[in-house]
């Protein structure tokens, strides 16, 4: 029986990565002087009624702290109140019901370090639980009540691991329907877009081609070439992928096209679920979407603090 030993890896930058992990739990990282200065809302809406006392920064900070430290609404309120007392900051903290009312209208911008070169974008989706029974109970006793979830669609930079685009949908929306919305959020030049077979549609290929990027999507096993070589039309990327697969085989094509880098999107989703729990606290869809966007923004901040630089140990 021929079994291969599991590869082991070591981290080169352990000192800086260790400092970054500790910084993730620092309160002063998530509530810094800039946040405190922008806590109150100085802008007037010009509409009837009183303007919001708390700024969008305050609401976003409260939602981020709640997700990062796994707190309920009232616990987050008390947490920030005690923090401001210890810091000697005379600021009021929003009532726990205020973020519930204002979260749906909050605009979240994902913090991304700009790049000069074109990016390799990897796309995928994952399910985030809204409510329902635990996995053990379902496996042991079956489903006792209706379960549902939301789909989080991500576009991840394979070089940096940052989340560049995010879309939240219900669980009945296919991945291929969301790809145009993901690409629309990205202003940078895109060199390549890699996705699994769920994106194998002509609409996805055409959307990627419009961005002058290379589409690396494995065609279905029964896929057929649509345009012959003697066609006057320009070659279609899907047909080009099929021809190359026929020449060298599917596995070799995946290695040649760097398709396996798509697994980094799954790594980002795994990281998000491990850090934030993989469950939504909000009851309404718009609030749930913003809750996930805040988690994506917080995850980018964590990645920018530092990530491991590992290498394979040769035996």
Q: What is the pLDDT along the chain (315 residues), one digit of tens a residue?
A: 455 667 787 888 888 888 888 988 888 888 888 888 899 887 665 566 456 788 999 999 999 999 999 999 999 999 999 999 998 889 899 998 998 899 989 999 999 998 889 999 999 999 998 865 555 555 666 665 566 789 999 999 998 899 999 999 998 899 999 999 999 999 989 999 999 989 999 999 999 999 999 999 999 888 888 777 666 677 788 888 888 998 899 999 999 999 988 888 888 999 999 999 988 988 889 999 999 999 999 999 999 988 877 777 776
pLDDT given for residue 146 in this prediction = 60
The answer on 48 and 128 residing in a single domain is: no
Identify whether residues 87 and 171 lie together within a single domain: no
Query: Are both 150 and 176 inside the same structural domain?
Result: yes
Q: Are 135 and 246 within one domain?
A: yes
Model pLDDT, residue 24: 87
Distance between CA atoms of residues 240 and 232, nearest Å = 15
Domain boundary residue, one of 249, 267, 285: 267
Calpha distance 203→206 (Å, rounded): 5
Question: pLDDT value at position 203?
Answer: 92
Domain membership of residue 159 as a residue range:
119-267
204 φ/ψ sector (left φ>0, alpha ψ -120 to 50, else beta): alpha
Structure tokens at 133: 């029974």
Residues 208 and 169 in one domain: yes
142 and 258 co-located in one domain? yes
239 and 149 in one domain?
A: yes
**Do residues 167 and 261 both lie within one domain?**
yes
**228, part of any domain:** yes
Same structural domain, 140 and 245: yes
Same domain, 34 and 130: no
CATH assignment of the domain containing 125? 3.30.420
Q: What is the pLDDT of residue 68?
A: 93
CA count, 13 A, side-chain hemisphere, 66: 26
Instruction: Identify whether residues 97 and 133 lie together within a single domain.
Output: no
The order of strands in the sheet holding 214-216 is 163-170, 148-157, 119-131, 190-194, 214-216
Q: Which are the contacts of 30, defined by CB distance < 8 A and separation ≥ 6?
A: 61, 64, 65, 68, 298
Q: In angstroms, what CA-CA distances link 172 with 5, 17, 148, 183?
A: 41, 39, 10, 21
Our count of domains for the chain comes to 2
Residue 93 domain-assigned?
Answer: yes
């Amino acid at each position: 029986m021929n079994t291969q030993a599991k590869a082991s890896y070591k981290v080169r930058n352990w000192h800086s990565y260790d400092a970054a992990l500790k910084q993730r739990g620092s309160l002063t990282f998530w509530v810094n002087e800039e946040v405190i200065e922008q806590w109150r809302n100085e802008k007037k809406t010009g509409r009837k009624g009183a303007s919001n006392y708390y700024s969008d920064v305050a609401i976003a900070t409260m939602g981020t702290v709640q997700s990062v430290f796994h707190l309920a609404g009232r616990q987050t309120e008390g947490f920030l109140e005690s923090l401001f007392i210890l810091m000697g900051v005379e600021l009021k903290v929003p009532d726990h019901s205020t973020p519930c009312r204002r979260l749906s209208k909050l605009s979240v911008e994902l913090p991304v370090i700009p790049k000069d070169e074109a990016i390799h974008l990897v796309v995928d989706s994952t399910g985030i639980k809204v409510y329902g029974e635990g996995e053990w109970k379902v496996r042991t006793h079956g489903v006792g009540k209706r379960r549902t979830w939301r789909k989080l669609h991500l576009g991840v930079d394979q070089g940096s691991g940052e989340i560049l685009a995010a879309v939240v949908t219900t669980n009945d929306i296919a991945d291929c329907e969301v790809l145009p919305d993901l690409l629309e959020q990205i202003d940078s030049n895109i060199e390549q877009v890699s996705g699994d077979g769920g994106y194998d549609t002509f609409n996805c290929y055409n959307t990627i081609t419009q961005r002058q990027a290379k589409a690396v999507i494995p065609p279905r096993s029964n896929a057929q070439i649509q345009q012959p070589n003697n066609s006057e039309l320009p070659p279609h990327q899907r047909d080009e992928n099929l021809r190359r697969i026929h020449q060298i085989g599917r596995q070799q094509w995946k290695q040649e096209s760097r398709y396996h880098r798509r697994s980094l999107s799954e790594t980002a989703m795994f990281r998000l679920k491990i850090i934030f729990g993989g469950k939504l606290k909000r009851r309404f869809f718009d609030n749930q979407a913003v809750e996930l966007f805040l988690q994506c923004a917080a995850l980018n901040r964590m990645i920018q603090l530092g990530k491991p630089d590992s290498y394979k140990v040769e035996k």
